Amino acid sequence: MNEFVTYQSEENYAIITINNGKANAISHDVADGLNAGLDKAEQEDKIVILTGTPGIFSGGFDLKVMTKSSESALELVTKGSKLSLRMLSFPKPIIVACNGHAIAKGAFLLLSADYRIGVQGDFKIGLNEVIIGMTMHHAGIAIAKSRLSESYLARSVNNAEIYSVKDAITAGFLDTAVPEDLLLPTAIKVAGMFSKLNKTAHAATKLRVRKPHLDALTQAIQLDSKGSISLS
């Protein structure tokens, strides 16, 4: 894909790996690489396993881009929101093998996938936008609403509460957690489970179940495009 995102094709699935330094930040290059990986997985008719590097899935958007200007921040956030929209409506199952920390856009990627496996350990997962001075964008709220219960929505978005791995399962960011050495084997096992689904029925049912949320997210992206995003 590019130097920050790799693609490994297997018989029934493809592993897309984010590898962008210490924070595994989501930059324009990473977002482009993820979209290219999804393109290839769709062409190859492969279930997707999306993962990061040991200890971190992603710490969120690249702060160098986010702090450059409000225009620069809006451009990257918009690209990230469109990536989430694509993931939520993607015709193939997407499994996230979350290697550790998942903060901000890293946590939003968890909320954009079909099945999320975390690693047991002292890792932090959540949406820290309000902590770092960013008023949560409309698309972020729409993504959170689509996957979190009302009580955890307020705690996660308004209060920027950061969770342990165990509490992240309760909140809705993860579905399960396993020891680190079982992360990829478990993701592969889940991919095998997904391979038993009827592909057409899965894709159509996903769109039907998520239609209100996909419509809301599409409208939110349009609303965000008319405003500005900055870190204060």
CATH code where residue 37 lies: 3.90.226.10
Residue at token pair 């955890």: 152
Q: Rounded to whole angstroms, how far apart are CA atoms 11 and 116?
A: 21
Domain enclosing residue 108, as ranges: 5-195
**For the chain, how many structural domains are there in total?**
1
Specify if 207 maps to a domain: no
pLDDT at position 50:
98
pLDDT for position 232: 62
* pLDDT tens digits, 114-168: 999 999 999 999 999 999 999 999 999 999 999 998 889 999 999 999 999 999 9
Question: At a CB cut-off of 8 Å and minimum separation 6, what does 137 contact?
Answer: 77, 81, 129, 220, 224, 229
The pair of structure tokens assigned to 141 is 């709220």
pLDDT at 150: 87
Q: What is the pLDDT of residue 39?
A: 98
**Per-residue pLDDT tens digits of the chain, which is 232 residues long:** 689 999 999 999 999 999 999 999 999 999 999 999 999 999 999 999 999 999 999 999 998 999 888 888 899 999 999 999 999 999 999 999 999 999 999 999 999 999 999 999 999 999 999 999 999 999 999 999 999 988 899 999 999 999 999 999 999 999 999 999 999 999 999 999 999 999 999 999 999 999 999 999 999 999 999 887 867 6
pTM of the model: 0.96
Strands (E) located in the chain: 5-9, 13-18, 47-51, 55-58, 94-97, 100-103, 115-119, 125-126, 162-163, 176-178
| Structural domain includes residue 26 | yes
- Say if CB 174 and CB 161 are below 8 A apart: no
Tell me, yes or no, whether 137 lies in a domain: yes
- 230 within a domain of the structure (yes/no): no
